[in-house]
Amino acid sequence: MQARYLTSTALAAAVYAIGATLAIAQAPPGMSNIDKSDPKASKQDTNLRPHPTPPLATPAEKLPVDKIKLPAGFKAEVWSSGHPGARTMARGDKGTIFMGTRVIGRVYAITEKDGKREVKVLLQGLTQPNGLAFKDGSLYVFAINRVLRYDKIEESLDKAPEPVELTATYNLPPEIHHNWKYVDFGPDGKMYVQVGANCNICEINPGVHGQIRRYNADGTGMEIVARGVRNTVGFHWHPQTKELWFTDNGRDWAGNAGPEDELNRLPKGQEGANFGFPYCHANGVADPDVKRPNPCAGVVMPAATLGPHAAGLGIKFYTGKMFPANYQNVAFVARRGSWNREQKFGYDVVIARPQGNGKARIEPFLTGLLDNQKNEFYGRPTYVLEMPDGALLVSDEQNGAVYRISYAPQRSAAR
Amino acid sequence: MKRVPYLAPPAFALAALVLSALIGAGAPAFAQTMLFKDRVEQCAACHGADGNSTIENIPSLAGQPEFFVMNQLVLMREGVRPVEQMLPFVKDLTDPEIMALAAYFGMRTPRLEGTKPDPALAQRGQALSERLRCGSCHNQDFSGDQQMPRIAKQRIDYMAAAMRDYRDNKRKGADTAMSAVVFGLSDADIDALAHYAASK
């Protein structure tokens, strides 16, 4: 079983099914989960720290929607507000938008009535319920180390029914850090689940941490589909190739310049492939603190890099009818924005345009929430969701709001 | 006194107004559950009259960043951080009361209570603190900032217990930042860090 710790893609793929069943929470002998970043080597401002997330929402009239800039023909408006910690969004069959959060511990249900949004606190007091997925009338809620299924949920939004507890079947590792979940059902009907590295930079056990897994909906049949993934907090499947694309947040305290966050593509047939953490980052950058020979051998390189400390989170490929034709099958990626960088970066939504060779080109889309001169931000886009009419919803965790991005062709006279 | 920067000026002014209106005269400016000074007395029974706790394992609140106290009270009210002894006091706190309490305790002067720091332990704690970058988040003088609590002059017993809780996944609803920091530390490491922080 030592083979599990080898990182050759082919080998990893061959043994992933066996390795997966032998999850051990501790690092293997000779490895350590203790953070390896070296404060003496880092040249960054030693006062960099995560930004606070307010537990109370910004009043509607104070939302920074006027600051948002978009390409010609696109418009941003406030879609809903007053729900602190707004992050993940999943749409029910009857149109309810379920919204997950982190520290505030709530799951919201947002419904539309007479063109207005009604926000309900559906669940409360959970530990970081960031992972939400909807299927066959049921809402799946992944809090840290807790998995719950609420059946026929859209029939009882005023009082959530008793959940079916799936925690034991999913049997996720207990570590807390980088373990707020992102989950979604794939085109194969399986539940895909994030399991982050429980450190900034350390030697994780690749049989346990730094993965994307997939399960049957009830939590049985676990398989590891990607390894060496530091912390993905968003993924989606290309509408045509059905390949899995996922964001991955790069390590901290190795400089203002990166290593950059990744947008990865899991090539078809390479389930179990290795994406490099902790030895190899971004486009083949060797880690300065956790070293080994040939750190990038057998590592799948990203489809694109997403910028230094950008915090690329939610990603969705667009298949709607509202936006112009050249937006078909491009991915929208929310970048929540940096903390471990002196000059702030991100706080926007970008487009990842697949190039047909497995790579993607990154272009700006939603900007204006970062003032580069003042080095200040006004909002933090976290997740995106395509609505049935083709509009795009963008959640803003900092302000507890959702913006709706719509498109109407401009008359040429207006140019 | 540190301002809570995300608060829009009117909201902040409101909190200050509540404070000045309620501490003395006690005329409620809007719907609230009880007089502000009675509220403060409730808290003082455990957290100390001037916000410096003389009771084992109960934290001092004096000089805490406003955002930290506000954030923790909201999380306690939500049930995300369930503190059994505090449940009766937090369940019906309003947002303006929370902001006023945060501002009130933020303005008190912190003073170390309880066990005195042991210089040898504190020295060991200092070396650990440099490796683990405590100062990057809690400020180099450990005075705290925003969601990061003041740990300078905090009770040693409380801090050691809090860090063990983070390490053992027992502090519910916490910011995950601390779980990462204390991962793999021994009880002795944690004691050393608590002695160092208290000594600052």
Architecture of domain A4-60+84-317 in CATH? Answer: 6 Propeller (2.120)
Would an 8 Å CB–CB cutoff place A179 in contact with chain B? yes
User: Could you give the ipTM of this predicted complex?
Assistant: 0.86
pLDDT tens for A314-350 read 999 999 999 999 999 999 999 999 999 999 999 999 9
Q: Do A103 and B79 touch (CB under 8 A)?
A: no
Nearest to B169 among A49, A176, A199 (CB): A176
pLDDT at site B32: 56
Residue A105 has pLDDT above 90, yes or no: yes
Map chain A to HEC letters.
CHHHHCCCHHHHHHHHHHHHCCCCCCCCCCCCCCCCCCCCCCCCCCCCCCCCCCCCCCCHHHCHHHHCECCCCEEEEEEEECCCCCCCEEECCCCCEEEECCCCCCEEEEEEECCEEEEEEEECCCCCCCEEEEECCEEEEEECCEEEEECCHHHCCCCCCCCEECHHHHCCCCCCCCCCCCEEECCCCCEEEEECCCCCCCCCCCCCCCEEEEECCCCCCCEEEEECCCCCCCEEECCCCCCEEEEECCCCCCCCCCCEEEEEEECCCCCCEECCCCCEECCCEECCCCCCCCCCCCECCCCEEEEECCCEEEEEECCCCCCCHHHCCCEEEEECCCCCCCCCCCCEEEEEEECCCCCEEEEEEEECCEECCCCEECCCEEEEEECCCCCEEEEECCCCEEEEEEECCCCHHHC
Mean pLDDT over the full length of chain B: 86
Q: How confident is the model over A195-235, as pLDDT tens digits?
A: 999 889 988 888 889 999 999 999 999 999 999 999 999 99
A256-299 pLDDT, tens digit each = 988 999 999 999 999 999 999 999 999 999 998 889 999 999 99
| Nearest CB to A46; choose among B8, B135, B146 | B135
Q: What confidence tens digit (pLDDT) does each residue in A27-53 have? A: 444 455 677 887 777 788 888 999 999
Q: What is the mean pLDDT of residues B179-197?
A: 95
Average pLDDT over residues A304-308: 96
Lowest model confidence (mean pLDDT) among A142-146, B1-5, B61-65, B149-153: B1-5
Is residue B27 over pLDDT 70?
A: no
Cβ–Cβ below 8 Å for A49 and B75: no
Residue A128 contacts B, CB cutoff 8 Å: yes
* Lowest model confidence (mean pLDDT) among A47-56, A233-242, B100-109: A47-56
Q: How many cross-chain Cβ pairs, A to B, lie less than 8 Å apart?
A: 100
Instruction: Please tell me which of A287-296, B28-37, B103-112, B163-172 the model is most confident about, judged by mean pLDDT.
Output: B103-112
* Residue to substitute from A56, A145, A200, A375, interface B, most B β-carbons within 10 A: A56
The answer to whether B173 faces chain A, any CB pair under 8 Å, is yes
Q: Which of A47, A126, A202 to mutate to test the interface with B (most CBs of B within 10 A)?
A: A47
Q: Using a CB-CB distance cutoff of 8 angstroms, which residues of chain A are in contact with residue B184?
A: 32-34
Q: What value does the mean pLDDT of chain A take?
A: 90
